[in-house]
Structure 1
Amino acid sequence: MTAILEMPRPVPSTEPAAPILSLQHVSKTYGDGEGTITALHPATLDVRPGELVAVSGPSGSGKSTFLSIAGALLRPTSGRVVIAGQDVTAQSEATLPAFRLRHLGFVLQSSNLIPYLTVREQLTLVPHLAGGNAREAAQRADELLRTLGLESRARQYPGGLSGGQRQRVAIARALMNDPALILADEPTASLDSVRGREVVQLLAQEVHGRGKAAVMVTHDERVLDLCDRVVQIVDGRLKG
């Protein structure tokens, strides 16, 4: 009788997933000599798939500088920023807009919706700017509107929406190109506590359900419990 040799089963990897966002000793200073102002002291942070990280701190603490660097909108004075495996600090200014369109989604404090576009048009504009397929963009927009409970608002203009609805549209727009990294700048600032939690819950669901990474800059302590990790920033120094 021939013996059957069993092949060893592969052992599941215990290695953590590679970070989608990696800030490596990044800093930002302005001016020279005695007039130098340090907006961000050397900071290191990794954000991995499925992780929503809050960066919390008072006004003027360096949150906006931090987020602008993380979103490849501002070049650091020193250090490296790696997004989706690419060193964006090594890229030219000419290539960064296309990179941001492909890999990043932004949710801003004021939603920044275009007043003369309908809800659906706000979403389809993003892939249009990226040169995407119009039919696929329309299908993606309809899917997101259904998921976020905005299907009945598709033909409305921003002026006819509540603050919470406008922020949900902003989230949907940020997700249109299926970005690896979502960056949210004070997304609850103009909302009451109930609507603010709804917005952050939607972000968390997208991050956890689709394996994305997200960084939310906020001073709203009411929503910190919804985040996987909270990092403090004080006087331009990242702690935690």
Structure 2
Amino acid sequence: MTTFIQPAPSPAQVVQAAQSTLTMRGVSKVFGDGDAQVTALHPTDFEVRPGELVAVIGPSGSGKSTFLTLAGALQTPTEGSVTIAGQELSRLNARQLADFRLHHIGFVLQASNLIPYLNVREQLTLVPQLAGRGGAQAGALADELLRSLGLAERTGHYPGELSGGQKQRVAIARALMNDPQLILADEPTASLDGERGREVVSMLAREVAERGKAAVMVTHDERVLDLCTRVVRLEDGRVTAQGTA
């Protein structure tokens, strides 16, 4: 089993986090059967606490995407357990998992995946509507997040009127709308230049720290690693290194 020990949390993290938001124990993923089996992720232990932004890096085909989908309850591990916010995911059926993701996990994707016919504010307020939490309170939170991320003057704009960096900031705000405990980001800087990519990750790190969220970011962009709390390297489905950025 590949196991690595968490570095001692800072005093702020000790106060903020009595337990991990995301815990993976002996988690592995095997695709196929018999001689056609491919191990995408070997048994791995992993934890993320509130206030941490952990980068997961590695070459293409190293298992990063599998790692993220397992952490995000989008796939079921072949072995091991995934626990998020105290809920062991294997105890939930498919419908319960979908509801759990909606309420407890925020996703920031590479292409931002904004809905082209909704303006910036509507992108955000749609999320609580889907969870049955629409109304004035949701609108107030949307406005707060947009101000926090420097988008107050873009609330009425549509995706086609935004830059790549602005779209990713909207995606971060949208991911925070249901007050999830865990944020998962998949290559959020892939379509951005160095300056814009750093701006987006800096804002993500700030929101994670200030709002007490736990976050995992899969990335190839080593220029932003210093903005992360820790860095984990995957190679051939195994954790080969971990440490501070």
Report if aligned partners of 2:20, 2:47 keep a CA contact under 8 Å in 1: yes
Cα deviation, 1:175-211, whole Å, max 9, x if unaligned, reads 0011100000000000011110111111111111121
Q: Which runs of 5+ in 2 are unaligned?
A: 1-13
What residue number does 1:28 align with? 29
Letter of the 2:97 partner, please give it: L
Residue in structure 2 matched with residue 3 of structure 1 by the alignment: none
Which residue of structure 2 lines up, in the alignment, with residue 5 of structure 1? none
Q: Any conservation in 1 of the 2:125–2:134 contact (CA below 8 Å)?
A: no
In the alignment, the residues of structure 2 paired with residue 184 and residue 158 of structure 1 have an alpha-carbon distance, to the nearest angstrom, of 19
Identity %: 67
Give the Cα separation in 1 of the matches to 2:26 and 2:172: 29
Residue 11 of structure 1: aligned partner: none
Aligned length: 227
Q: Secondary structure at the match of 1:95?
A: helix
Helix, strand or coil for the counterpart of 2:196? Answer: helix
SS for the counterpart of 1:109 is coil
Query: TM-score normalised to the size of structure 1?
Result: 0.92
Does 1:218 pair with 2:211?
A: no
Are 1:17 and 2:10 matched, yes or no?
A: no
| Structure 2 residue aligned with 1:8 | none
CA distance in 2, matches of 1:146, 1:153: 10
The equivalent residue for 1:103 is 104
Aligned partner of residue 59 in structure 1, secondary structure: coil
State the AA in 2 paired with 1:187. Answer: P
CA drift of 1:97 comes to: 1.1
How far residue 32 of structure 1 moved from its aligned partner, in angstroms, is 1.5
SS of structure 1 residue aligned to 2:94 = coil
SS in 2 for 1:94: helix
Q: Distance in 2 between matches of 1:96 and 1:35?
A: 29
Counterpart of 1:35 in structure 2: which amino acid?
A: A
Distance 2:34 2:230 in 1: 37
Gaps of 5+ in 1: 1-13
Aligned twin of 1:93 = 94
Distance of 1:31 and 1:101 partners within structure 2: 29
Once residues 117 and 58 of structure 1 are traced to their aligned partners in structure 2, the CA distance between those partners, rounded to angstroms, is 36
Aligned to 2:147: 146
Q: Which residue of 1 aligns with 2:47?
A: 46
Residue 4 of structure 1 corresponds to which residue in structure 2?
Answer: none
Please provide the CA RMSD for this pair: 1.1
1:59-82 Cα offsets, whole Å, 9 max, x none, are 111111000000000111010000
Q: How much does 1:133 deviate?
A: 3.3
Shift of 1:39: 0.7
TM-score, normalised on structure 2? 0.91
Secondary structure of 2:168's counterpart equals helix
